[in-house]
């Protein structure tokens, strides 16, 4: 075991084995002889222990000649004079600062966790922009607009003739046979604009009646509407002839078999299909009949048919069709300007 003493010359704290108590040792710092008194806190009798880290600031104490002579005599009497080892003082101030720094770091981490800084970054789930659907539609026939280039869904309800609301899925029955000026083009314009108001999330099927036959677009399948679908109708209409009878009643009967919510009839000729009208009414199908630039007799017959179906009827003259077309063009131009 070692005892700690303080050098009488340089005042530094040194340690030496207790076996040399009563003798002398040599200071490792100043190489002077130091008396080993056995007092662990200091070398000189009655000396007060210094605060850690302050021993180097203590002034050297003068050693009298008598004391020096006594130390030399005692050293000569010893077989060997050990050299003491320096005592490393603990830097209390450094320890305190280190503990304070660790405490600050811990407190900072706790605050950061509570504020959500280290909640972990998780990859955001891919969001699919769903289209807003105003009118209810069966889930089996709803086609959501997805994908980076998806067409936006119109905010308002789907309509025909600009004001009559329709519920998808919609089946259109169009009279496209020979007629007077403005009738065929009026039917095409009304159908195209109505399909546009559906948007991509609401579906439709379309039957064109001309040449004595009924021709279905996409084989009586319900597909999404919207601007792209409306634009694509141009190819469908261009392939139809304008001669022969237009069996609208037959198309209406076929339309009921694909279970639409709404059947839209755009025609100008007389339509007599009482049994079919009754089936539509019993099935709860909404029927909308629009007389497109027809004469009084045709308008009366179409109105009676709409009444038998429990549906709605509207008559549009050529002037009204022209005004409708101009309004549509202005609306589309406004949308392009806003984009």
Single out the residue in 91, 112, 144 at which a domain terminates. Answer: 91
Q: Which residue in this structure is represented by tokens 């000729």?
A: 269
Predicted pLDDT of residue 129? 46
137 part of a folded domain: no
The verdict on 317 and 183 lying in the same domain is yes
156 close to 291: Cβ distance less than 8 angstroms: no
Number of structural domains in the chain: 2
Token representation of residue 20 = 């040399």
61 part of a folded domain: yes
105-124 CB burial, b ≥16 within 10 A, e <16: eeeeeeeeeeeeeeeeeeee
131 part of a folded domain: no
Alpha-carbon distance 339 to 330, whole Å?
14
The boundaries of the domain holding residue 230 are 155-338
Predicted pLDDT of residue 90? 60
Predicted pLDDT of residue 19? 87
112 part of a folded domain: no
The verdict on 330 and 182 lying in the same domain is yes
Single out the residue in 66, 91, 116 at which a domain terminates. Answer: 91
Alpha-carbon distance 57 to 59, whole Å?
6
The verdict on 236 and 334 lying in the same domain is yes
- Phi then psi dihedrals of residue 262, to 5 deg: -135, 140
65 part of a folded domain: yes
Predicted pLDDT of residue 48? 40
Single out the residue in 91, 117, 145 at which a domain terminates. Answer: 91
51 close to 6: Cβ distance less than 8 angstroms: no
Task: Find the CATH number of the domain harbouring 206.
Answer: 3.40.50.410
Name the packing angle between helices 296-309 and 274-283 (round to 10°). Answer: 40
Alpha-carbon distance 35 to 277, whole Å?
129
The verdict on 321 and 189 lying in the same domain is yes
Residues 6+ apart with CB under 8 A from 307: 313
- pLDDT, mean of each 10-residue run, the chain (339 residues): 90 90 92 79 42 44 71 83 82 82 91 68 47 42 51 91 94 89 89 95 94 90 94 89 81 94 93 82 95 92 93 93 86 61
pTM value > 0.85: no
* Strand 13-17, strand 2-6: pairing: antiparallel
Alpha-carbon distance 242 to 130, whole Å?
40
278 close to 306: Cβ distance less than 8 angstroms: no
Predicted pLDDT of residue 222? 95
Alpha-carbon distance 67 to 49, whole Å?
22
Q: Residues 132, 135, 137, CA angle at the centre, nearest 5°? A: 95
Task: Please report, to the nearest 10 degrees, the dihedral formed by the alpha carbons of residues 203, 208, 209, 215 taken in order.
Answer: -100
The verdict on 164 and 26 lying in the same domain is no
Q: Is 126 exposed, middle or buried (0-12, 13-18, 19+ CB in 10 A)?
A: exposed
Whole-angstrom CA distances from 186 to 97, 136, 268, 287, 293 are 89, 28, 10, 19, 8
The verdict on 273 and 172 lying in the same domain is yes
The verdict on 166 and 286 lying in the same domain is yes
Predicted pLDDT of residue 310? 93
The verdict on 319 and 243 lying in the same domain is yes
139 part of a folded domain: no
Predicted pLDDT of residue 22? 86
Q: Is 267 exposed, middle or buried (0-12, 13-18, 19+ CB in 10 A)?
A: buried
The verdict on 217 and 321 lying in the same domain is yes
The verdict on 175 and 324 lying in the same domain is yes
The verdict on 176 and 316 lying in the same domain is yes
The verdict on 163 and 67 lying in the same domain is no
Alpha-carbon distance 24 to 123, whole Å?
75
| Rg of the Cα atoms in the chain | 52
Give strand pairing partners of 69.
none
106 part of a folded domain: no
109 part of a folded domain: no
């Amino acid at each position: 075991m070692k005892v700690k003493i303080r050098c009488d010359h340089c005042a530094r704290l040194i340690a030496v084995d207790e076996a040399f108590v009563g003798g002398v040792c040599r200071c490792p710092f100043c190489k002077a002889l130091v008396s080993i008194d056995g007092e662990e806190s200091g070398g000189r009798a009655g000396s007060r222990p210094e605060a850690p880290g302050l021993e180097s600031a203590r002034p050297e104490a003068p050693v009298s000649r008598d004391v020096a002579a006594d130390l030399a005599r005692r050293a000569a009497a010893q077989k060997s004079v050990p050299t003491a080892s320096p005592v490393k003082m603990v830097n209390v101030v450094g320890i305190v600062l280190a503990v304070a720094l660790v405490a600050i770091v811990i407190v900072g981490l706790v605050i950061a966790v509570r504020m959500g800084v280290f909640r972990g970054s998780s990859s955001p789930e891919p969001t699919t922009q769903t289209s807003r659907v105003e009118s209810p539609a069966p889930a089996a026939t709803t086609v959501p607009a997805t994908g980076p280039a998806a067409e936006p869904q119109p905010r308002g309800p789907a309509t025909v003739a600009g004001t009559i609301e329709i519920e998808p899925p919609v089946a259109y029955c169009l009279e496209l046979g020979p007629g007077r000026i403005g009738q065929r083009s009026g039917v095409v314009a009304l159908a195209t604009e109505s399909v546009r108001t559906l948007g991509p999330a609401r579906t439709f099927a379309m039957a064109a009646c001309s040449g004595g036959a009924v021709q279905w677009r996409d084989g009586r399948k319900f597909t999404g509407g919207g601007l792209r679908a409306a634009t694509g109708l141009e190819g469908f209409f261009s392939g139809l002839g304008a001669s022969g009878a237009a069996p609208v009643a037959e198309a209406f009967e076929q339309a009921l078999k694909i279970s639409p919510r709404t059947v839209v009839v755009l025609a100008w000729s007389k339509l007599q299909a009482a049994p079919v009208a009754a089936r539509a009414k019993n099935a709860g199908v909404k029927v909308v009949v629009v007389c497109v630039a027809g004469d009084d007799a045709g308008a009366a017959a179409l109105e009676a048919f709409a009444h038998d179906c429990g549906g709605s009827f509207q008559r549009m003259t050529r002037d009204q069709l022209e005004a409708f077309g101009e309004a549509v063009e202005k609306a589309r131009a406004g949308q392009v300007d806003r984009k």
